[in-house]
Chain A
Amino acid sequence: MDVPLYLEPRLESRLASLLRARTFLHTLAGGLGSPLNVVLPDRIAENLAAFRAVYRRHHLSGGIFFAHKANRSSALVRRLAATEAAVDVASLGELQHALGSGFVPDRIMATGPKNPEFLWLAARSGTTVNIDSPAELGQLAALVRDYGLPRLRILLRLSGFCAPGVRLLTRQSRFGTAEAELDGLLKSVERHRDAVELTGVGYHLDTTSPAEKAVALEGCVKALDTCRARGFTPRAVDIGGGFGTDYLADGAQWQRYTTELTNAALGTRPPMTWRRHTYGLRNENGTLRGALALYPAHRPTAGAQYLDTLLSLPAPSLGRPLATLLLENLYELHTEPGRALVDQCGVTLARVLEVRRTEATDRTEATDHTEPSDRREATDDRPEPSDRTDNADRAGTAGRTGPGHLLVRLDANADDIGLEEHGVLVDPVLVPRTAPGGAPDTGPVTCYLAGNLCLEADMITRRAVHLPSAPRPGDLLAFANTAGYCMDFSADEAQQQPVARKVAVWQDGPADDTGREDASWHWCLDEQYWPHVNRRTKGSA
């Protein structure tokens, strides 16, 4: 039998230690309910330090703005406020939250499309505004004039950059002003010189390709030169976010998994997904078509390392490494990491409500990892599934091609655990209720994870998930690394199911101190967390 198609999560020391703290996690979920979001504020400060180290390596200065939209947590934002980081806010609520968490307006940038309320608070507080369109610039300048506010720092978001030589296509963006229209935009800035001060330009591209970003970064440097020639004194290039996260522990697992997914789409192996979902791939006369609509969960170059790679690339037309280009033109670099800055900063816990066999309405996997009929999932005190005998019989007669997988119903829904929604395929970690050895080891199992809504579509995963042993009712499944967009981005109260509570957890010492990995964990509600109270945080990260 093949090794199960695991996609084990990448767990660095702090998060790994937390997931080993079985009793602690069960106490939390027992008291606060399922689902439960757990954030690790100390880790965000470590990630910040890694980004800053890349700046230092390239002798660059400038702000590292946490893209707040990645997570609503107060603990993470307050912990960052105790460091040298800045924050990027994209709504009125996020701006209020940043101000209330201890960020002064100097360290806040308002980005994205803005409504009048958001624009007002940004202007009134003196927050830097990243201008999305000429109309927005007009509205902002009017506010400053009408209310006699101090001159406001702005950046211009540009898009549609052109490369020399080979034409590099880039996805159309809803945001920003085309580079070709810079002249008109600068005329507006000149008209509003009394109200705004141009401090830089930036881009934010929705792509994983460093080559496209190199074109945009160089385009920004050239745009700043145009600004200088017109008498402005801009200082910064804002290269946005999109540095990515590596979710998986083992690249070989990802490669093996995606190959099997390709084979499943072509029909050369049994389906691996609920209702034969193929994640965007399709079979046209034996040839593969479509594109894999998944986040590249295995990214060997992600986060701060991606920034390092990007800064080391040569500028497409000027030839100098991008970092050198910024440096010798005396520009600062602003970055807006979101997902990358909250890497390893959170986990979502969900309680197992029920485990049952699902009917195989279709062919099942040839490498069927469901357990033999004598090893059953429901060995605790909960009622066993009523179809036990039935299943056991069928398994006995049908053997490996017998009945389908386990269906594991969780007390959480697909909106609480956004991994699938964001195309991130990664296995949860089983946190059993009883101590290891307390229950017979079932061996590897294949299961679908279903949510708590009365809705066919509410699947936490559309793929069959392989786990080293069967979950049982009362156990917790821990979804690691959800803090970036996969925790509270789209959670709501559908069907009046509760939205996950959020807690902050920390250890007294650094997690990577030898012998301190399993130091005891402390917790408080996310909104109760303040870095100086809950942890002896001295100075910046």
Chain B
Amino acid sequence: MRFERITDAIGNTPLVRIDPSVHGLRTIDLYAKLEMLNPFGSVKDRAAWNMVRPGLSAAADEDRTVIELSSGNTAKALAVLAGMHGVPFKTVTNRMRIPEIKDLLLLLGAEVEELPGQTECLDPTNTDDPLTAFHQTLTEPGSAYLYTDQYYNDRNTQAHVEGTGPEIVKDLDGRAPDWFIACVGTAGSSTGVARVLREHDPRVEVVGLVSHKADFVPGIRTIDEVQEVGLFDPGTYGTIASVTADEAIDGMLTLARRCGILAGPTSGAAYFGAVRHLRELDDGPAPGPDSDPDRPAGRRTAVFIVCDRIESYLGYVRQRRPELLGRPPQPNSVATVSDAEVRGAPDIGVEDARRWIEHDRPLVVDLRSPFAYTALHIAGSVNIVDELFGELVRGGLPFSKSRPVLLACPVGEQSAKYAALLARMGHPDVRSLRGGIIAWRDAGAPLVRE
């Protein structure tokens, strides 16, 4: 496959059958439409390219900025597309809760603005919501924006009417599936694909998945939030069901660990919602060695969308299911220090410490951050922030046993742990500053700013 431009690689994604032993459905073949294999990593590549393409060259000539309300994949695709054409891109959002995506957007050269949170003291006379303010900016005279408007733009839906939908039908040998399951974000992919499939076979059942209302699944709206989407028409969907974050992660794990599909939680939600919905309808006799071998006509098909890749969601998983990323504790780690060891850690009070420094000149290690250290510290001390210190000692003692060491942190808690650890590792004379730098200051001992 040879392309002249990366944008030519958008679309024509594979349709992959999920092994029945994974989903356990006996009479339904479940297929995944791998939109994650689009060049910028998601289903949004199609819509972004289709929406922005007509205006890009004019935008470049007129020094316009491409602007969109997007918290993730659309912004990512638009940032790349705008950048390739020398046009700046800005995204405004109040929904960006995936820190990796923020950093990625900055890396791609996007400008990101986050809208303020809800007010704490309600002013009922204030009818000005942030989104209204955003729309006002766009319509100000002389505003130099190319607004792709993904929630209202028909070209979003059109990208799937012309691409995703026909591709599915073609790969199913010219038939529409019996079920189509999609998560609803902008409603573009579900609306577009549903239109094509229904033209083919009006009996197609479309299942729309939304996020459980109290929960957050990236890329999906809740049942209330979809109402804010211009492209959303409840008539598109035969069923609308909700998925929780936990269920989305479960689905994601199944796809990744058992199907080799390294997709994000949105796709996990689609898989989970698909299997949950289909299990109820999986009522035909199981075709197998015992049953009539001429029954394949009785088999039915379902397709769901795998919309993006897994890599950006490690923080999301860490926050919700930290055990999935659990690693065994390392031997020389401060986490292995027991409470008893901490209680027995050698320490020293401020007055004695001052005398000790005077006579024996121990190495004074300040475990606070460089910012705090720079502001005020014990004269002659060195700064190794606790995180870095933890890394250092994992490999062994970072200083000679012949040199006494005084460890200092804000209140003497961290330093006691490290003193216990270093003592266990064989350092003969390490002490923790009791009460920490705060006790030092409160005792009137000198702190310097250099």
A225 x B371 contact (CB < 8 A)? yes
Among A59, A209, A288, which residue has its beta carbon within 8 angstroms of that of B228?
A288
B214 x A255 contact (CB < 8 A)? yes
- One of B118-126, B243-251, B336-344 contacting the partner: B118-126
> Chain B: interface secondary structure?
loop
CB<8 Å pairs between A and B, sample of 10: A165-B112, A166-B106, A166-B112, A169-B114, A252-B214, A255-B214, A287-B228, A320-B369, A325-B371, A421-B124
Q: Which residues of B contact A288 (CB under 8 A)?
A: 224, 227-228
B122 x A228 contact (CB < 8 A)? no
- Min CB distance A508 to B, Å, is 36
A293 x B120 contact (CB < 8 A)? no
Q: Is B404 an interface residue (CB 8 A)?
A: no
Among A206, A228, A262, A287, which residue has its beta carbon within 8 angstroms of that of B232?
A287
Q: Which residues of A contact B368 (CB under 8 A)?
A: 328-329
Could you tell me which residues of chain A, from 400 to 452, have a CB within 8 Å of some CB in chain B?
421-423
Q: Which residues of A contact B224 (CB under 8 A)?
A: 258-259, 262, 288
Contact pattern, B 342-373, Cβ under 8 Å of A = 1, otherwise 0: 00000000000000000000000000110110
Q: Is B129 an interface residue (CB 8 A)?
A: yes
Q: Which residues of A contact B425 (CB under 8 A)?
A: none
A208 x B118 contact (CB < 8 A)? yes
Number of A residues, CB within 8 Å of B: 52
Q: Is A251 an interface residue (CB 8 A)?
A: yes
- Min CB distance B134 to A, Å, is 10
Q: Could you tell me which B residues sit within 8 Å of A by CB distance?
A: 96, 102-103, 105-106, 111-122, 124, 126-127, 129-132, 152, 213-214, 223-224, 227-230, 232-233, 368-369, 371-372, 375-376, 409-411, 413, 437-438, 441, 449
> Chain A: interface secondary structure?
loop
- Min CB distance A299 to B, Å, is 10
Among A211, A255, A287, A330, which residue has its beta carbon within 8 angstroms of that of B213?
A255
Residue of B nearest to A291 (CB): B129
Q: Which residues of B contact A325 (CB under 8 A)?
A: 369, 371-372
- Min CB distance A273 to B, Å, is 14
- Min CB distance B406 to A, Å, is 17
B115 x A165 contact (CB < 8 A)? no
A328 x B102 contact (CB < 8 A)? no
CA distance A289 to B151 in the complex (A): 12
Q: Which residues of A contact B214 (CB under 8 A)?
A: 251-252, 255
CA distance A486 to B32 in the complex (A): 53
Could you tell me which residues of chain A, from 193 to 235, have a CB within 8 Å of some CB in chain B?
206-209, 211-212, 221, 225, 228-229
Q: Which residues of B contact A536 (CB under 8 A)?
A: none
Residue of A nearest to B118 (CB): A208
- Min CB distance A412 to B, Å, is 19
A166 x B102 contact (CB < 8 A)? yes
Number of A-B contacts (CB under 8 A): 131
B124 x A328 contact (CB < 8 A)? no
5 closest residue pairs by CB, A with B: A209-B117, A291-B129, A328-B368, A423-B122, A288-B227
A294 and B410 contact, Cβ closer than 8 Å, known pairs A169-B116, A328-B369: no
Q: Is A280 an interface residue (CB 8 A)?
A: yes
B116 x A170 contact (CB < 8 A)? yes
B127 x A280 contact (CB < 8 A)? yes
CA distance A255 to B102 in the complex (A): 29
- A171-B116, A207-B119, A287-B152 known; 9 new pairs, CB 8 Å cut-off, are A166-B113, A169-B114, A209-B117, A212-B117, A293-B126, A329-B376, A330-B410, A422-B121, A422-B122
Greatest chain A CB density within 10 A among B103, B117, B228, B441 is at: B117
CA distance A221 to B371 in the complex (A): 10
Q: Which residues of A contact B113 (CB under 8 A)?
A: 166-169
A318 x B371 contact (CB < 8 A)? yes
Q: Is A531 an interface residue (CB 8 A)?
A: no
Could you tell me which residues of chain A, from 63 to 95, have a CB within 8 Å of some CB in chain B?
none
CA distance A286 to B124 in the complex (A): 24
CA distance A266 to B116 in the complex (A): 25
Q: Which residues of A contact B413 (CB under 8 A)?
A: 59
Among B122, B371, B409, which residue has its beta carbon within 8 angstroms of that of A295?
B122
Q: Is A396 an interface residue (CB 8 A)?
A: no
Q: Is A104 an interface residue (CB 8 A)?
A: no
Residue of B nearest to A168 (CB): B114
Among B119, B371, B376, B409, which residue has its beta carbon within 8 angstroms of that of A206?
B119
- Min CB distance B201 to A, Å, is 27
